[in-house]
Amino acid sequence: MFKKSKPIKFPEDEQVHDNAVEWWYFNGNLEDKKGNQYAFMDCLFKVEVRKIKNLVLSKSPLKNFYFSHSIFSDIKKKKSYPSINYFSLVSKDSFSRPLLFINHTNPITMGGYVNSLIEETKEFKYHLKNENLDLKLVSQKKPLLVGGEGYLNMGQQKKTYYYSLSNLATEGLVRVNNLWIEVQGKSWMDHQWINTDFSEDNWKWFSLQLEDNTELVCFLYQDSKTKIKMATISYPDDHQEHTSEIEFVPQGKKWKNFKTGNEYNLSWQIRIPSKNITLEVEPLLKNQEMVFGKINYWEGPLSVKGIFEGRAVKGKGFMELVGYPSKYGSLKFLADSLAEKAHKFLSHFKK
């Protein structure tokens, strides 16, 4: 648990912490040599079993429990490929090196396994790998300390450390129809650790990357008693500014997943009146819901355009919408997931 805030230190604080919940999150917008666009999200979660309220995990002999979510999107073909791993097996040598190193896999496999990797090869240079990605990412800016110090009080004893790498030059390979294709683009990284769990909370979160190398992370977070708004900006010259005077206005473009019953507002206007900022964000794909039992969320790439401090701008980004309880129960979801994996496994031998 946190006793009091202390400055985030690098590279030490890129490693694992003794907190209830922690995650290492990446997203990116990429393009191949033909101009075809792709997007991805990849996230490894850690929960400390005895510090969260979960009847199933509380009976586990493990101290830390890991799981991973990822989604790969082919924008031209309007297809997305989500992957939910309820349990990720982390290698014995993970978190043992001076720089961040996490090697993990899904131990429940059919037709072979693929190891996933988050490796910092040099300071702020990363190798990210999963079944659909093999990328090298190099940070072009210093870490973005959300809120100014990278430490936020979310109310109700929820205090979190949170930093981002907002401008990661990216190149490497993505897997499309079982072919590996060269791509390049820009990615984003979040690392957050907190002293309690988020299981009943909701938020609207945006990472925006403008073409002039201005980046913006902003969110609206709510629980039963708290409502917090925050925006943190990284300017092209690498200085940072922060404000809570931000507005999120839905623009009417909705999408509903009839399996879960969830309906999401996918188009938003983001306003910071004091800085003459008005940005319009639109989804590049609609069907981007991550179905995780009763805890589901929308996660996907965005187009961005509007006014930033009085000048016309455009760019790309990512949006995450969390806090939509599903009508699709956990047991049915698990049964359907296993059936889908079995079908893919059998199809492999029919070829």
Assign 101 to helix, strand or coil: strand
Please give the helix or strand (H or E) that residue 343 lies within, else none.
helix 330-350
CATH architecture, range 19-350:
Beta Barrel (2.40)
Distance CA 106, CA 256 (A): 30
What tens-digit pLDDT sequence spans the chain (351 residues)? Answer: 445 578 999 999 999 999 989 999 999 999 999 999 999 999 999 998 877 665 455 566 678 899 999 999 999 999 999 998 888 999 999 999 999 999 999 887 666 788 999 999 999 999 999 999 999 999 999 999 999 999 998 776 678 999 999 999 999 999 999 999 999 999 999 999 998 765 667 899 999 999 999 999 999 998 878 889 999 999 999 999 999 999 999 998 999 988 788 899 999 999 999 999 999 999 999 999 998 766 789 999 999 999 999 999 999 999 999 987 766 655 666 666 666 666 665 555 555
pLDDT for res 265: 94
Bond into 11 cis (ω within 30): yes
pLDDT, residue 330, reads 56
Q: What global pTM score does this model have? A: 0.91
Distance CA 129, CA 172 (A): 10
Q: How far is the C-alpha of 62 from the C-alpha of 165, rounded, in Å?
A: 31
- Dump pLDDT digits (tens) for 144-198: 999 999 999 877 667 899 999 999 999 999 999 999 999 999 999 999 999 876 5
Return phi, psi of residue 334, to 5°: -65, -45
Confidence (pLDDT) at 99: 98
Give the number of C-alpha atoms closer than 13 A to the C-alpha of residue 36, restricted to the C-beta side.
16
Pairwise CA distance, residues 164 & 169, whole Å? 14
The pLDDT assigned to 226 comes to 84
How far from the centroid of its chain's Cα atoms is residue 321's Cα?
A: 11
Residue 256 φ then ψ, to 5°: -125, 135
Cα separation of the two ends of the chain: 52
CA atoms 170, 206, 277, 147: torsion sign = negative
| Residue-range domain boundaries for the chain | 19-350
